[in-house]
């Protein structure tokens, strides 16, 4: 079904070049867990090619339904669109898709480049925890500003392609050290939707009417109320991302825990404030 849905969205000519064989994928440890599948580190070994380390996002077919299939296929199709002509440095690279299988219940995979040190949110929280041990990396402010600029550039590319992300948040940004001589980390936009880490699942709440899990504290008012998304609502999400960066992985509106409360508060004009210690430049 996944293959059919994907073919439906993107067309078979666009999809075919990305298909990888299940037998060439060697999965390793779990790096994240979500509602309908998990993310594993893995290696793709194809004949005559260099082995590639990947992050494999799984769709567990036994837990999936029509909607999750669509979401998964949608994410894959967006990644294909962005990566079809070489991709962008600030958007995670697609390596391939695994949709073949002898058994109907074989999981499907989206393979993306493996980023080291990985998730931005995790990275920020670690810096915050190490602060009291005086182990803050030198030039931290500059590094964080560069991360924010990277994300903005990735977003600009999404806008250029008329793609809305809908789930921009530090948990969905990865940091990459590879390929740079100066040691600077490169931030890349990842997770156009599905796999969510266990420790952040609390950040998604069910909409009272639709029962869909939503990242409410990252959502623009118009998305919360009318369900409309645009590059402008992604921009709101970017504002929250900036706030997360400046607070080293803080939780936005920590006292708020429900959809209604958040909507009421935002309607009254309450907004996230410039955090203490946040530079003017940021």
Query: What is the size of the binding site for ligand ADE (CB under 6 A)?
Result: 12
Q: Which of 146, 150, 142, 60 is nearest to 105 (CA)?
A: 60
Query: Is 31 among the residues that bind ligand ADE (CB under 6 A)?
Result: yes
Residue 92 makes contact with ligand ADE by CB under 6 A: yes
Per annotation, catalytic residue among 150, 167, 197, 234: 167
The mark string for 118-137 relative to ligand ADE (x by CB under 6 A, - otherwise) is: xx------------------
Residues 6+ apart with CB under 8 A from 42: 25, 26, 27, 28, 53, 54, 55, 56, 111
Least spacing, CB of residue 20 vs ligand ADE, in Å: 16
Question: How near is the Cβ of 33 to ligand ADE at its closest, in Å?
Answer: 11
Query: Rule CB under 6 A: is residue 39 a binding residue for ligand ADE?
Result: yes
Could you give the CA distance from residue 140 to residue 157 in angstroms, rounded to a whole number?
A: 26
Q: What is the DSSP letter of 253?
A: S
**Of 77, 83, 190, 223, which one interacts with ligand ADE (CB under 6 A)?**
190
Binder among 2, 114, 218, 238 for ligand ADE (CB under 6 A): 114
Which range, of 31-39, 157-165, 259-267, 268-276, touches ligand ADE by CB under 6 A?
31-39
- Indicate which single residue of 44, 97, 115, 173 sits in contact with ligand ADE (rule: CB under 6 A): 115
Assess contact for 68 and 59: CB atoms under 8 A: yes
Q: Which long-range contacts (CB under 8 A, 24 or more apart) does 34-38 make?
A: 34/194, 34/195, 34/196, 34/197, 34/201, 35/63, 35/196, 35/201, 35/213, 36/60, 36/63, 36/64, 36/68, 36/72, 36/194, 37/63, 37/64, 37/107, 37/194, 37/195, 38/195
The reply to whether 105 sits in an annotated binding site is no
Active site residue 150: no
Per-residue HEC secondary structure of 139-179 comes to CHHHHHHHHHHHHHHHHHHHHHCCCCCCCCCHHHEEEECCC
- Minimum CB distance to ligand ADE smaller for 31 or for 242: 31
Determine if 110 is a binding residue for ligand ADE (CB under 6 A). no
User: In this chain, which of 55, 99, 147, 220 binds ligand ADE, going by CB under 6 A?
Assistant: 55
Rg of the chain on CA atoms, in Å: 19
As annotated, the binding site for ATP includes 57
- Give the active site residues: 167
The binding site for ligand ADE (CB under 6 A) comprises 31-32, 39, 55, 92, 112, 114-115, 118-119, 174, 190
């Amino acid at each position: 079904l996944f293959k059919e849905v994907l073919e439906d969205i993107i067309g078979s000519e666009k999809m075919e070049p990305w298909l990888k064989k299940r037998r060439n994928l060697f999965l390793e440890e779990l790096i994240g867990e979500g509602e309908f599948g998990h993310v594993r580190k893995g290696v793709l070994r194809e004949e005559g090619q260099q082995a590639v380390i990947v992050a494999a996002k799984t769709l567990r077919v036994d837990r999936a339904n029509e909607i999750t299939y669509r979401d998964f296929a949608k994410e894959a199709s967006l990644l294909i669109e962005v990566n079809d002509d070489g991709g962008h440095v600030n958007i995670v690279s697609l390596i391939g898709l695994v949709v073949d299988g002898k058994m109907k219940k074989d999981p499907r995979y989206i393979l993306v480049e493996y980023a080291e040190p990985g998730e931005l949110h995790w990275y920020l929280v670690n810096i915050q925890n190490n602060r009291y041990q005086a182990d803050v990396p030198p030039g931290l402010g500059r590094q964080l500003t560069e991360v924010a600029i990277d994300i903005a550039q990735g977003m600009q590319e999404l806008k250029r392609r008329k793609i809305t992300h809908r789930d921009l948040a530090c948990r969905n940004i990865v940091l990459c050290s590879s390929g740079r001589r100066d040691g600077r980390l490169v931030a890349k936009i990842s997770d156009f939707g599905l796999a969510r880490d266990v420790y952040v699942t609390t950040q998604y709440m069910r909409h009272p009417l639709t029962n869909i899990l939503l990242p409410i504290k990252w959502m623009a008012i118009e998305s919360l109320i009318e369900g409309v998304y645009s590059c402008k609502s992604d921009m709101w999400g970017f504002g929250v991302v900036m706030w997360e960066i400046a607070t080293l992985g803080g939780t936005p509106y920590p006292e708020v825990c429900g959809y209604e409360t958040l909507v009421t508060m935002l309607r009254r004009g309450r907004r996230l404030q410039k955090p203490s210690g946040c530079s003017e430049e940021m």
